[in-house]
Homo-oligomer: A and B are copies of this chain.
């Protein structure tokens, strides 16, 4: 894409009403626009990042045979009274409104109850099981405070997945498959090295649930870590976990983390509450076993910003960057050759943000650093004279020089 066509602009200063680094940088670089505290719109740049994250997560969920669907945001009160969770005392993040005839409705902050209503419509026999479904949903949560930018919004995108099984063993096997799939996601997203499967508080059915926690100064959690044994425990369950895991507290390192995923083994608790039953091989009715698995898509984007950004701006990991490179043209002849390179790379399917603006080199370099594409390529008159062009890594800041053909080969392979 040509930057001259991009309607967003970078700003020289960070917005004064944002405390979170992720929101400051994303607004300054033109990736998001703030509607109100905790509510953001995503510009073409921001949407590209979100879609890249979604694509990775989608591929990994499809690979464990989950089926994508999309549920409604509007939800019926009756459904939530089945589990008691319509209550504002129990659930303090509801947005509610009412139809014109006065009927109360809620806006989806989670879809556990609605997915059970949907599935009990189709589930008859053990032969229908297992079932796994997921969606990318716009969740609405009436958070009291919203000061963490896109890491904790009043409106945010979540991948929520639900699986239903005939037996506890089958659920356990799937639960492990989800953990493996999540690890592949974080690996592809570029945050695997600092992301830990973490023991967290469970529910009625299990002692622990599992969170995926990424070491991040801007996070809201504290995790006790044993890097050698690859053990991580949320501080909320540290006392129980120490006993269970047989480790000594002194061996553990306390780190600040951000939750990037959370998975629950519900057992039959939810199914009993909402009568999700099936006919077993024995001809009898049984409650189904159920798991619930979430990844906050917008939150992951925020965490990646927080972890990798530096004093110059955003630093995207390779797989989620909106463009692979920012192509900076300098000078008249530089502009002509940059046009040619842009055409060649676009044709080969390489995503290029091409700074074709009539701006000073310094402005272009500063924007490239603020916007954070993995690579910057500079095509200048001087480069044409010397036959060597600059290729700069945003992550390391290192610049190497390459001939035109080498540049093409670097991006096209």
Contact = CB atoms under 8 A, between A and B. Distances in A.
Contacts of A72: 35, 39-41, 155
B7 A133 contact: yes
Q: Which of A41, A46, A71 has the most CB of B within 10 A?
A: A41
Interface of A: 5-9, 30, 33, 35-36, 39-44, 46-47, 50, 65, 67-76, 92, 95-97, 99-100, 105, 107, 114, 118-119, 121-124, 128, 131, 133, 138, 140, 142-144, 154-155
A343 to B, nearest CB: 17
A73 B140 contact: yes
A74 B114 CA distance: 21
Nearest to A118: B33
A60 to B, nearest CB: 17
A128 B3 CA distance: 11
Give the one of A46, A76, A99 with max B CB within 10 A.
A99
A99 B145 CA distance: 10
Scoring A44, A50, A95 by chain B CB atoms within 10 A of each residue's CB, the highest score goes to A95
Contacts of A143: 100
B7 A105 contact: no
A74 B154 CA distance: 9
Given A7-B133, A131-B7, A44 B69 contact: yes
Contacts of A99: 142, 154
Which has the most chain B C-beta neighbours within 10 Å: A30, A44, A114?
A: A44
Nearest to A93: B100
Nearest to A42: B70
Query: In the complex this chain forms, how many copies of it are found?
Result: 2
A9 B36 CA distance: 42
B97 A69 contact: no
A97 B100 contact: no
B33 A121 contact: yes
Contacts of A114: 35, 41
A47 B100 CA distance: 29
A187 B230 CA distance: 57
Given A69-B43, A97-B97, A122 B9 contact: yes
Contacts of A100: 92, 142-144
Contacts of A6: 67
A7 B144 contact: no
A92 to B, nearest CB: 8
Contacts of A68: 44, 47
Contacts of A8: 122
Nearest to A38: B74
Contacts of A144: 100
Contacts of A118: 33, 41, 43
B76 A35 contact: yes
B7 A65 contact: no
A358 to B, nearest CB: 9
21 contacts: A7-B131, A30-B122, A33-B121, A35-B75, A35-B76, A40-B72, A41-B71, A41-B118, A42-B69, A42-B71, A44-B133, A47-B68, A47-B69, A50-B70, A72-B155, A74-B140, A74-B154, A96-B97, A99-B154, A100-B142, A138-B138
B41 A69 contact: yes
Nearest to A137: B138
A69 to B, nearest CB: 5
Contacts of A35: 71-72, 74-76, 114
A73 B73 CA distance: 10
A36 B68 CA distance: 21
B70 A41 contact: yes
Given A9-B122, A9-B124, A44-B133, 13 more contacts: A7-B67, A7-B119, A7-B122, A33-B121, A35-B71, A35-B72, A41-B71, A41-B72, A47-B69, A72-B155, A97-B142, A99-B154, A138-B138
